[in-house]
Structure 1
Amino acid sequence: MQTLYPEIKPFARHELAVQEPHVLYVDESGTPDGLTVVFIHGGPGAGCDGASRRYFDPNLYRIVTFDQRGCGRSTPHASLENNTTQELVADMERIREHLGIDKWVLFGGSWGSTLALAYAQAHPERVHGLILRGIFLCRPQDFHWFYQEGASRLFPDFWEDYLAPIPADERGDLMQAFYKRLTGPDQIAQMHAAKAWSTWEGRTATLRPNPQVVDRFSEPHRALSIARIECHYFVNNAFLAPDQLLRDMPKIAHLPGVIVHGRYDLICPLDNAWALHQAWPNSELQIIRDAGHAAAEVGITDALVRAADQLARRLLDLPLEEA
């Protein structure tokens, strides 16, 4: 089984001002003249960390990571102002141009897969290929499954904690009820809602219980950006037209892609990946039989590292057997 590459430090860090009031944190690591890959984090609202750059061979890749608007080291924290999918796509183009990149590989999981597809469909000429994990198509049924009814039936104990901030008479539309509190003036109610929302996600992200994942999601600073930004996006259908990502797949049908998805992913069920694969004949679907949603699960990590190695060697015309 492949594991993450050893920890490395960035060779460059950038603070990139985009549309007010946002300033993005961007860093680069690996080989400056290598094949460029951009790591697109999930959430939206989660941010990157030191592990984000460790899926890639630093001798082959120039690795770009960035924190999307309102999260991680980007500022202002948890801001919803001028924060939409289209603006995040524009930010990626701004980063590409700022760093002088002609084309890059897109690597994204969960919401990161959503944003990767949206970017690729808007700028297919700038993409070598895609490596996607935990596909999230942002269809109405996908939001309903996780935030209203579906996953709730598999985790009734965790669901009870998720419901706790919401009065019984507002539970007919839980996303709207959370949005009311996450954007309201009562900071105590806001944090209570943020912790409940984000902890629900952390508890259900892995097939086997993983306290480290739960702690990462429930840490207050991160929980606030995850909950506020996710809820903002999801009550607005991720700022996408119905079935937009599947409808626009012909725009990128020629691009190579690897789809990695846990068989027991209960945040983004496998039908997301299946539907994408059916619409993308040039993709390879890898169903990880003993995994849920999180990239940190052993089988998913293995598949992602192998996919990144193999794609780099293919694009750089290196022997595949060395991967």
Structure 2
Amino acid sequence: MAQAPQPTGYQHEDAWDVNWLRVDDIHELYYQQFGKKDGKTVIYLHGGPGGNCSKANTIFFNPQEYRVILLDQRGCGNSRPNANTTNNTTWHLVADLETLRKHLHIPKWHMVFGGSWGSTLALAYAQTHPASIGSLVLRGIFTVRAHELAWTMQPGGASMLFPDRWADFIHFLPMEERADHIESYYKRLMSDDTRISHPAAVAWNTWESSISTLYPDASALDKLHDPAYLLAHARMEAHYFRHGAWLEEGQLLRTRNIDRMRSIPTTVVQGRYDVVCPAATAWDLHDVFPESRLCFVDDAGHSVNEPGTKTMLVEVCDEYASLAV
């Protein structure tokens, strides 16, 4: 009898494969495999840049249907070395997805699942290697355009809704470092002295985490106590944001790039009140990619764990299990 999803999603046994894959002289990527060994393959792309994966990320996927691969991207989580920005760009990560696919002898991913920064990476991957992807499930769309970065990282955007949290973020820095607060944070986060880098990472991560849910969620700050997450997340975001993720302005939304992935079945799940990745970007994607399906969740912010978003993602993944790709 098929397993029915629970309100909190599907439950998986522990990973049946845990390993590292060396991709160059510096980086080894940590990956885990869950679910059905001969099932439909799905790779989960975490957010950030700089986030990581855990067993909790498997809840969207029926273990009787899916073989779930969780990957910690370069410098993230249990990948080695942690928080290392050398040879760490969007295009390195895109190449890593192909390297992992071939290493696991997967002809084509049945699904690429990505949220927030994971949606950015999924779009870049789909536009580079469309033949490797059977379907896309995306959440909280982020394309690293200048006005998207300004919304969360400069006054006048999210700060207008969360002035108290923004004040905490800015006032962490001494007055003389506030004129260019992103560069000042970057310098601190890149310091080899953890007495400098770690407090900056706490302040940086607290700003984003505190605006990620529609309703206040005290558990949103739990990751600040995870050493594999703390510095990697903040340092990698500053590193990628500072370089515009090595994307030309608006690159992922250009018609000629969308044309490369237009035939891939795609569903976008977007929190209506997402303050980290506002809904306008999901709308812009759907506008240039009308073949996609855009589903707004009217009672959700940014977090993948908000009830309405979680339920809709489970439903989409159940539906996509039956796709012939």
Taking the TM superposition and a 5 Å limit, the aligned residue runs for 1:161-176 are 161-176=168-183
Q: 1:280 aligns with which of 282, 289, 296?
A: 289
1:222 aligns with: 229
1:302 aligns with: 311
Gaps of 5+ in 2: 1-5
Provide the rounded CA distance (Å) in 2 between the counterparts of 1:157 and 1:195. 16
1:52 aligns with: 57
What secondary structure, in the 3-state scheme, does the structure 2 residue paired with 1:266 have? coil
Native 8 Å contact 1:45 1:230 kept in 2: yes
Provide the rounded CA distance (Å) in 2 between the counterparts of 1:86 and 1:228. 18
Q: 1:117 aligns with which of 110, 117, 123?
A: 123
List per-residue Cα deviations over 1:252-296 (Å, max 9, x = no partner). Answer: 111110100101000011111000111112111011000000000
Gaps of 5+ in 1: 317-323
Q: 1:240 aligns with which of 247, 262, 275?
A: 247
User: Displacement of 1:219 after TM fit?
Assistant: 4.1
Native 8 Å contact 1:198 1:226 kept in 2: yes
Q: 1:203 aligns with which of 176, 197, 210?
A: 210
Q: Which amino acid aligns with 1:176?
A: E
Taking the TM superposition and a 5 Å limit, the aligned residue runs for 1:77-96 are 77-96=82-101
Q: Which amino acid aligns with 2:103?
A: H
Native 8 Å contact 2:78 2:228 kept in 1: no
What secondary structure, in the 3-state scheme, does the structure 1 residue paired with 2:198 have? helix
Provide the rounded CA distance (Å) in 2 between the counterparts of 1:100 and 1:236. 33
Provide the rounded CA distance (Å) in 2 between the counterparts of 1:218 and 1:244. 36
Identify if the C-alpha distance between structure 1 residues 258 and 2 changes in structure 2 by more than 3 Å, giving closer, same or farther: farther
Farther-moved stretch of structure 1 (170-179 vs 242-251): 170-179
Superposition TM-score, scaled by structure 1 size: 0.94
Native 8 Å contact 1:164 1:196 kept in 2: no
- Percent identity reads 45
User: Displacement of 1:169 after TM fit?
Assistant: 3.6
Q: 1:34 aligns with which of 33, 39, 61?
A: 39
Provide the rounded CA distance (Å) in 2 between the counterparts of 1:90 and 1:276. 23
Farther-moved stretch of structure 1 (171-180 vs 51-60): 171-180
Native 8 Å contact 2:12 2:35 kept in 1: no
Farther-moved stretch of structure 1 (20-29 vs 288-297): 20-29
User: Displacement of 1:220 after TM fit?
Assistant: 4.8
User: Displacement of 1:218 after TM fit?
Assistant: 5.6
Identify if the C-alpha distance between structure 1 residues 297 and 253 changes in structure 2 by more than 3 Å, giving closer, same or farther: same
Provide the rounded CA distance (Å) in 2 between the counterparts of 1:65 and 1:295. 16
List per-residue Cα deviations over 1:168-217 (Å, max 9, x = no partner). Answer: 34333322121111113442121111100001111111001111112224
Structure 1 position 103 matched with structure 2 position 108: yes
User: Displacement of 1:221 after TM fit?
Assistant: 4.2
Runs of 4+ in 1 over 3 A off after TM superposition: 217-221
Structure 1 position 268 matched with structure 2 position 277: yes
- Aligned CA RMSD, in angstroms, stands at 1.4
What secondary structure, in the 3-state scheme, does the structure 1 residue paired with 2:323 have? helix
What secondary structure, in the 3-state scheme, does the structure 1 residue paired with 2:60 have? coil
Q: 1:190 aligns with which of 189, 197, 209?
A: 197
Native 8 Å contact 2:201 2:234 kept in 1: yes
Native 8 Å contact 1:265 1:291 kept in 2: yes
User: Displacement of 1:315 after TM fit?
Assistant: 2.8
Provide the rounded CA distance (Å) in 1 between the counterparts of 2:45 and 2:15. 16
Provide the rounded CA distance (Å) in 2 between the counterparts of 1:220 and 1:8. 25
Superposition TM-score, scaled by structure 2 size: 0.94
Structure 1 position 312 matched with structure 2 position 317: no
List per-residue Cα deviations over 1:294-316 (Å, max 9, x = no partner). Answer: 00000000011111110112338
